[in-house]
Amino acid sequence: MAGIPFFPMNLDHLSPELDFALKFARQAADVAFQVERDMVLSTLTKDDRSPVTTADFAIQALAGRLIHEAFPGDILVAEESAAMIKDGKAPASLEEITKVLARIWPETTADKIFEWVDRGTGVPGDRFWTLDPIDGTKGFIRGDQYATALALVVKGEVQLGVLTCPRLAIERGKATVVRGNEGSVLIACRGQGAWSAPLKNGTAFAALAVSSAHDPSEAVVVRSYEDSHTNTDQLDRLVEALGIQSAPVRMDSQAKYAVVAAGAADLLLRFRSSNRQYDAAKIWDHAAGALIVQEAGGCVTDLHGKPLDFSAGRTLARNEGLLASNRHLHGAALAGLRAIAEDRG
């Protein structure tokens, strides 16, 4: 398949940000791969009981430093904070983070790491970057899918999104699980389209396009790997209501958006989990992936058909759940969701 020329001239107005995002994405994938290859993958457990690894902190530190250098004054809103590695309770993790970053910047110290990581504690404003350093940490640890997700949000709209999916190779209409960092980088600019390229080949970008499936019964559905991140009862009922024949594919992280954008899946569904410790969806879990699906021709809303509102702070507080589709199946999915909601009374 022939790649399209990159970058088209009409992307020029965003080129410094685009250029930056792509370089960052590849560096982040290198860091994640180094951690995967060389480290014990020691994990810490956050207050919400989710795990966090050396790679989460190292990639957030990388972004904190690089964004500050490239766009001084830009705000970063990211998943982690340095509190857990600051209190001296995780010396092994801090040592590993220092080792990874010292390969890029030999002068790296613990204090510098705290400063770079905590640059991600910014408050969303008119223009900010949002980052999930390792989206799908559980998948990263398990050997399944994970992603690094970075997006630029301006006046509540995602303008630019980049995803690395190091364990997902993408061709038009096809996504293949791969090992190490043989996977893909995906990028989208609002109004300009979405592309993917192999992580290891800087220039081979090809346009992403969603599937043309129109028949709900034939739809390929993707859902979170972890049952606790969604509501499997509601998902089962929707699958039944739409007459969907194949079992939903379980996948961690925004790799789910990547497979929809590539046309390898038709519907992505996320129901509110019954876990009370997890309040609302975080903006960094959706910003990059949602733009990539939209720019590949798909449609992304919440479960009520409302557009995602990225101006509500660090969470999507004004939305409930998530539906991403190839656009053709969106109406049928929303109708199915209404039907199962009415059924519940």
Residues touching ligand AMP: how many (CB under 6 A)? 15
Residue numbers annotated as active site: 56, 137
Residues touching Mg ion: how many (CB under 5 A)? 3
Q: Between residues 136 and 336, which has the closer beta carbon with respect to ligand AMP?
A: 136
Q: Between residues 54 and 253, which has the closer beta carbon with respect to ligand AMP?
A: 253
Long-range CB contacts (within 8 A, 24+) of 303-311: 303/269, 303/271, 303/334, 303/337, 304/334, 304/337, 305/334, 309/156, 310/124, 310/153, 310/156, 310/157, 310/158, 310/283, 311/124, 311/155, 311/156
Q: Which one among 135, 252, 266, 302 touches Mg ion, defined by CB under 5 A?
A: 135
Q: Which one among 252, 285, 295, 302 touches Mg ion, defined by CB under 5 A?
A: 285
Residue 252 interacts, among ligand AMP, Mg ion, none and using kind-specific CB cut-offs from 5 to 8 Å, with ligand AMP
Q: Which one among 207, 278, 315, 334 touches ligand AMP, defined by CB under 6 A?
A: 278
Q: How far is the CB of 321 from ligand AMP (least distance, A)?
A: 10
Q: Which one among 17, 30, 132, 252 touches Mg ion, defined by CB under 5 A?
A: 132
Decide if residue 144 touches ligand AMP (CB under 6 A).
no
Task: Please give the residue whose beta carbon sits closest to Mg ion in the complex.
Answer: 135
Q: Between residues 96 and 135, which has the closer beta carbon with respect to Mg ion?
A: 135
Q: How far is the CB of 285 from Mg ion (least distance, A)?
A: 4
Q: Between residues 115 and 226, which has the closer beta carbon with respect to ligand AMP?
A: 226
Decide if residue 282 touches ligand AMP (CB under 6 A).
yes
Residue 275 interacts, among ligand AMP, Mg ion, none and using kind-specific CB cut-offs from 5 to 8 Å, with ligand AMP
Q: Between residues 14 and 287, which has the closer beta carbon with respect to ligand AMP?
A: 287
Q: Between residues 171 and 226, which has the closer beta carbon with respect to ligand AMP?
A: 226
Can you give the three-state secondary structure of the chain, one letter per residue? CCCCCCCCHHHHHHHHHHHHHHHHHHHHHHHHHHHHHHCCCCEEECCCCCEEEHHHHHHHHHHHHHHHHHCCCCEEEECCCCHHHHCCCCHHHHHHHHHHHHCCCCCCCHHHHHHHHHCCECCCCCEEEEEEEEECHHHHHHCCCCEEEEEEEECCEEEEEEEEECCEEEECCEEEECCCCCCEEEEEECCCEEEEEECCCCCCCEECCCCCCCCHHHCCEEECCCHHHCCHHHHHHHHHHCCCCCCCEECCCCHHHHHHHCCCCCEEEECCCCCCCCCCCEHHHCHHHHHHHHHCCCEEECCCCCCCCCCCCCECCCCCCEEEECCCCHHHHHHHHHHHHHHHC
Decide if residue 315 touches ligand AMP (CB under 6 A).
no
Tokens of 239: 């699958």
Interface positions, 194-253, toward ligand AMP (CB under 6 A): 224-226, 228-229, 252-253
Q: How far is the CB of 269 from ligand AMP (least distance, A)?
A: 10
Contacting positions for ligand AMP (CB under 6 A): 50, 135-136, 224-226, 228-229, 252-253, 273, 275, 278, 282, 285
Contacting positions for Mg ion (CB under 5 A): 132, 135, 285
